[in-house]
Amino acid sequence: MNPYIEILRPGNAIMSAIVIILIAIIDKSFNIPIIFAMLTVFFETAAGNVINDYFDYQIDLVNKPERPIPSGRISLKNGRNYGYLLFGLGTLFGFLISYMTNNWIPFLIVLLADIVLYLYAYKLKSTPLIGNLAVGFMTGFGFVFGGFTLNNPSILITSTYLGFFAFVMTTARELVKDIEDIEGDKLEGAKTLPILYGKKITAILAFILIIIDCALCPVLYYNNIFGFYYLIIIAIAVLLFLYSGILILKNQDKKTAGKVSKYLKVGMLIAFVSFIFGSF
């Protein structure tokens, strides 16, 4: 794969953009601002991934040496400039959304995203729990961004529900990833939660967040946000979430943490599918 595509983590960026499609499907509307919102979220997520790799160069030499920057396929300077370009594209499309809809909240959200994503990569990532919450917040905010783009009060309420779900589960996954990356983070002098308080405490906190999200899943059905098909599909995601939580509670080695991180990501994808079918 071309390193300039690989560094975007396109799967991750596309998954983030799918959030906007979900909101559009739930609202049963599709227009130019929605397309621009998808592009905005894609470029902002990609920019965050690239600038994160730029600042994490030393850590990735240990944890992820195969990535484009530590492997030498992209220079540090080019990686930084590429990140700035992507931030610029995301901000431009955010401006176009607000200009077209005469609603400047989406543009303000994009500007906030620029700041949070950059600060996360530069400083917050190594701050215990704050960095994890920042990533979770930005993931959940994608749903809210979609709600404001459509400028529909009822869909904004729904998008806030979904945003909170994504915030909690993403935060749990970020804690698990900190357990996985503890060796490289120690070498870099980062102060993540597992380094300061241990892998067991971090695993327990991740498990609690997973349980909270699983308990919240039926609420979206009982509040008539989604229909019966949602309940069937989300049950699969809940089982995978619970299995992942039990795994990380039992064992916090690097291999297990990596496996749990992937399971949680798959579970979130299944949850997104349940949102689509639940809206029919």
The residue among 168 and 139 whose pLDDT is bigger is 168
pLDDT at 44: 94
Considering the chain, what percentage of its residues have pLDDT values greater than 70?
A: 99
Token pair, residue 79, equals 């990686």
What's the mean per-residue pLDDT of the chain?
88
User: Are 98 and 159 spatial neighbours (Cβ–Cβ below 8 Å)?
Assistant: no
Mean pLDDT value of segment 210-217: 92
The residue among 127 and 51 whose pLDDT is bigger is 51
Considering the chain, what percentage of its residues have pLDDT values greater than 90?
A: 45
Does 212 score more than 90 pLDDT?
Answer: yes
Lowest mean pLDDT among 24-28, 172-176, 215-219, 233-237: 24-28
Sorted by sequence, the CB contacts under 8 Å of residue 158 that are 6+ apart come out as: 23, 26, 147, 225
Does 211 score more than 90 pLDDT?
Answer: yes
What does the alpha-carbon distance between residue 94 and residue 183 come to, in Å, rounded to a whole number? 38
pLDDT in tens, 102-153: 999 999 999 999 999 999 888 777 777 888 888 888 888 888 899 899 887 7
Mean pLDDT value of segment 4-17: 87
pLDDT at 90: 96
pLDDT in tens, 69-94: 888 898 889 999 999 999 999 999 99
The residue among 131 and 253 whose pLDDT is bigger is 253
pLDDT at 245: 94
Region class of 129: left (phi > 0), else alpha (psi between -120 and 50), else beta: left
3-state helix/strand/coil string of the chain: CCHHHHCCCHHHHHHHHHHHHHHHHHHCCCCHHHHHHHHHHHHHHHHHHHHHHHHCHHHHHHHCCCCCCCCCCCCHHHHHHHHHHHHHHHHHHHHHHHHHHCCCHHHHHHHHHHHHHHHHHHCHHHCCCHHHHHHHHHHHHHHHHHHHHHCCHHHHHHHHHHHHHHHHHHHHHHHHHHHHCHHHHHHHCCCCHHHHHCHHHHHHHHHHHHHHHHHHCCHHHHCCCCCHHHHHHHHHHHHHHHHHHHHHHHCCCHHHHHHHHHHHHHHHHHHHHHHHHHCC
What does the alpha-carbon distance between residue 72 and residue 58 come to, in Å, rounded to a whole number? 12
Domains, the chain, ordered by start? 3-278 (1.10.600)
pLDDT at 124: 77
What does the alpha-carbon distance between residue 163 and residue 156 come to, in Å, rounded to a whole number? 10
Grade residue 276 by pLDDT with cuts at 50, 70 and 90: confident
